Structure 1
């Protein structure tokens, strides 16, 4: 029995020794294995940019990382909908293999130097270089790939006239959704570059498209355009508030704002006045109020109506000059009151009446003169006019008195005389009113019997003085 117990005890010792040997050999084997793994691969419990590369050699990890990067999917989302997806490989993206291999080898060496029996999970970032085939990327992101969605063009900001608001308004630009290839490429590249910093390998990339990738308007609303709208509306307001009152003595003609408004040519790019319409208005006004160079109908002191053809007294509107002045007036925004621009003007007027009660009237047949001022008869007198011959007769017509002179010497080489008079008032072609002390009588038929003048109207001296002191240069004289 004792011998049996001794035998069992010996067996236990052998078994224990064997167990200890197995444990030791296992530990040694495990250590050798761990050492082998950590020296021939990247090591245990290691990831790069979130990808597990445990127990992979540099070459195996390089291949896995490269393939994972190129298989990464880029998903383009627009208005909440995925409209296009493509891999990085299809876009022409890849990792530079030399750089990747060098980075992994450096990581392996780093891990070797920090050998640990009991490893803990650790994620690493390494240096990398991305290669890109730009031509392939442009093809992958070509506009043709985004035609599944309805596209609209962008519109520029512009100024327009609103008939509803009756004023100019600034219409702002509108960004459409037409893809701008250059903008899309830049936006995708920038987004990917940012994503790669933290998610080089982990997940697919979703890129949300916005106005940043659309074709932008060429013209955007600006402060300058706002100022232009303000300027246009200011000018429009002035045109609409301007009136022009034309003064013809005590009579006026009003160019009202409604008429002016009908002349306005309002376009989106500006305001202009219909010059033809304005010129037609001025022409009508000239036809009504011009009194010179047209036959003059005159009611004589004797009660008859006569017409004088040679009419060189009165008013004539300078239509071109008036148009220029009117166009300036219309910009003022004021109530303008003035006379028209005249090329010829008389002494005074009352509407179409350019005598207004102040004129000299001469009847050659009656050999008589009347002087009126402000509607009242100042004086009347007999006269002696030019002899009734072709060279000496007094001209019939209407003229202004050119000027006054006292004394004045009348002379003629043709007729060989030189006579000084006290009161000289010429009207046309060397003819004029003057005193004639050499005349012994006035009126009747003296002008026919050898006492007629060379065209001047001879007056008694007292009457010549009265007329001279009553009138000024420009006073109208009508001879018939």
Structure 2
């Protein structure tokens, strides 16, 4: 750039002499091609304008200077802009640093903690607000039938206000105040109050237990055996009305931590089922349980079906755990085996029957009958379940009888010896139920000395080998040894039917008139001989009144 008063360098060339200008003549500017706007003429320094319009050509421009720029205008504008920008930047920097300083010791505007507005407050002021708030604090817990209020002292609410304020400031960035001042700042989450859980739990438990006395607990979906359908089915879950103390305690802890004044309980606070009917575990458990009840066996006694071992028996012995695990409940199966052994063992039990002549009797005791082997039955049942056994099987017994007519029924066949102690008469019935032998008897005496009544019950002939010598004690204490020709014992080898040659008469009331035996059944010698020839070892003997 040349100064305004400097002379331009001389031109060199053919027309150089004609290019020389007057000393004060402004530099020429090549005319622009196209439409331009007029600019005022440049007035040399020191010259005054006369107010007379400058000469112009026909296009409205001053001759040769219409397009000349103002020398030095751009540098001056740049300097002015720089100065302005510097001033603005300086002001902003000062404002920014003032803001940093201010918010280094005060909370942001629009700052709250709990229900308190702490905008522009100092940490000490906020700590004071917190301390005052906790002294007035109380928490009401209500809903679902519960309504209890906990004071700060009852809840044992405690917190370190200075530490809370310090933590809040540690998280704040005062250098970002130009952004933060326009945001809302809820510092409630910074509250970390603690409570005496044991004290609160005791009070809540008391209140909740009182409410729960009249509520229903929830029930998980499960699998149960349907006795009518003889199969396992899913039982849907059941929603209860019982309050869950653990959920309430969690809500209380959260509320106390932020000094909330109220906890409203809703359905979430109720104890909920944890297993639902569409749970795959429940579905799988149902399938597995039903696969374990496929056994179906007729248990036989003397060729008759005594009981059925099927789903109705097995189902109650299948256990479904809380975790939907399926297993065989061996205790339950053992209890079933115990029940069967007790009900179907007839030895010594009371049995009712009708004699061939139509007379009806009930008899108890004796050594004859069915005796179910409980342990063998249990083992058989486990194996049958595992093998899905079907068909027929004999009821495992350690002792069998000749017949089965149901629990409490006659378990001997048509052939047996009937000793009627009331009638003092004995009979032998054959396989067709016909009496092929009978005789009056003298049974054991009812009282006094060594005498005793003939035992009642169902027995069998233990021996029929012929004669024997009977030994015992007389009423006067003396010993006796009495030989008999026909000895047919049925109570061990102590009590039996035998000939009694010393008896001059039989039947009637002789057994109680002093002629009664020591317990045996006395027979006329001829009748004893006949019976000896007709009966066999193992024949049933029924002694009754």
How high is the TM-score relative to the length of structure 2?
0.39
Identify, as 1 or 2, the structure richer in helix: 1
Larger RCO of the pair (alpha carbons < 8 Å, separation 6+): 1
How high is the TM-score relative to the length of structure 1?
0.44
- Greater Cα radius of gyration, structure 1 or 2: 2
